[in-house]
Each structure stands twice: as C-alpha cells, then as structure tokens.
C-alpha cells in the first residue's frame, strides 16, 4: 500500500487519517511508509434493525450523514429508528474521539494531501460519509486507500476522492475478513498505542 501511494507522489504535507478501529493498524503502516502524520477520523456505521452489521448509512464526527435510501425503503426502516440510531452512533463517535484524541485539537486538513485509510470496504457507507465530510474541509488532495473492496463499491467511491488506491477488488467479494489471515477486533487501547507511536500531528 505504501509503495502504491508513493507512486502517486503525495508530496511532503501528508496527513493519514485512519478509520478506527480496524483502519488504524493499516493507517499506521501507511504513515510509516510515507513518513507522514497519522490521526483518526471517526465515523460510525448506522446498522439495520436487528442486524447492526448491515449498514443502512453512516455518520461522521462533524455530523455528515449518509443514508442508503433504497435499502431503508426496502427494509421499511422508520424515520424514528434512523434518528435514534444516528444519535446513538454520534454519542459513540464523541466517546471514541475523547479516548483517541484526548485534549488535542483535530488535525488541520485545509490545503494538505489527506489520505483516508481503512482495512477494507464492503457497502462503503462509512467511507462515503468520511470522504464527504473531509471534502468539505477543503483538502488540497483527497486520497482513499484500502487493501480490499468489491469492484462496484470502489468504482462508486472514485467519484468522491481525487485518487482511490485499492490493492484488490475481487468478485465475488463476501466480506472483508476473508481476505485477512488474522482479522480480530482492534481494541481502543491498540488504537491509542499506535497513535502515540506514530506521533500525532495537528
């Protein structure tokens, strides 16, 4: 991933923003390869009723909300459910930001090359919300970097970033975890440790 990103010529003022938790170990390696700053961008998936792993949308830390209206209609998800789940996820976003960043201000993105990193994409809801929120912060260049994702989702995400680096786009896709030898859940403590090791930037 680092080699592919180096080939894009990202420049000197690079900020790697990883989606926690799983994107942080990947983001750490990318930041090391590029000698870049590392921080987190906290976005939460909005799960379907009774199936929280199935995304019907996502909300970013700045309140940017992305909803899959087609899926919401198909599943007959009520507006009350969407509102309540969105607020619940925003509360979790605030908790995670406090744990990961503490009193540090959010990193400056305006005019910089920002590389958004995750451990993979499936539906892409979380990444869509993140890219839209980051685009509004006026980065000089916005790059998405993921190890794996389904071809259709990756193609759709190209409209939201200046560059998309995806190492593998298999079809059929199934799930992110099947492309990793080890895919355990990253803990908050691991995220904080990696951020400290990288030396966060503002």
User: What is the number of residues in the chain?
Assistant: 202
- Contact call for residues 17 and 41 (beta carbons, < 8 A): yes
Q: What is the pTM of this model?
A: 0.87
Strands 65-67 and 113-117: unpaired
Q: What is the maximal distance between C-alpha atoms in the chain?
A: 48
CA dist 36 → 2, 10, 113, 137, 197 (Å): 11, 10, 10, 19, 13
Residues whose CB is less than 8 angstroms from the CB of residue 176 and which lie 6 or more positions away in sequence, other chains included: 119, 120, 121, 122, 148, 183
Give the mean model confidence (pLDDT) for residues 52-56.
87
Say what the pLDDT of residue 200 is.
Answer: 55
Question: What tens digit of pLDDT does each residue of 107-144 get?
Answer: 999 999 999 999 999 888 889 999 999 999 999 999 99
Summarize pLDDT for 84-117 with one digit per residue, the tens.
999 999 999 999 999 998 888 889 999 999 999 9
Helices and strands counted in the chain (H then E): 7, 8
> What SS3 class is residue 180?
coil
Q: Which domains does the chain have, with CATH numbers?
A: 2-42+105-198 (3.40.50.2020), 45-99 (3.30.1310.20)
């Amino acid at each position: 991933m680092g080699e592919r990103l180096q080939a894009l010529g990202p420049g000197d003022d690079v900020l790697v923003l990883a989606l926690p938790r799983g994107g942080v170990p990947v983001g750490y390696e990318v930041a090391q390869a590029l000698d870049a700053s590392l921080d987190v961008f906290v976005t939460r998936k909005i799960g379907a009723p009774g199936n929280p792993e199935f995304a019907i949308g996502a909300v970013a830390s700045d309140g940017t909300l992305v909803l899959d209206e087609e899926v919401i209609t198909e599943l007959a998800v009520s507006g009350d459910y969407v509102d309540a789940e969105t607020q619940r996820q925003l509360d979790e976003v605030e908790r995670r930001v406090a744990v990961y960043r503490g009193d540090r201000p959010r990193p400056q993105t305006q005019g910089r090359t920002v590389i958004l990193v995750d451990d993979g994409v499936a539906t892409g809801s979380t990444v869509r919300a993140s890219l839209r929120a980051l685009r509004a912060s006026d980065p000089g260049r916005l790059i998405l970097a993921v190890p794996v994702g389904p071809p259709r989702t990756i193609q759709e995400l190209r409209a939201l970033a200046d560059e998309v680096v995806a190492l593998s786009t298999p079809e059929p896709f199934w799930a992110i975890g099947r492309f990793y030898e080890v895919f355990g859940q990253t803990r908050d403590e691991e995220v904080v440790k990696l951020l400290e090791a990288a030396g966060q930037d503002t």
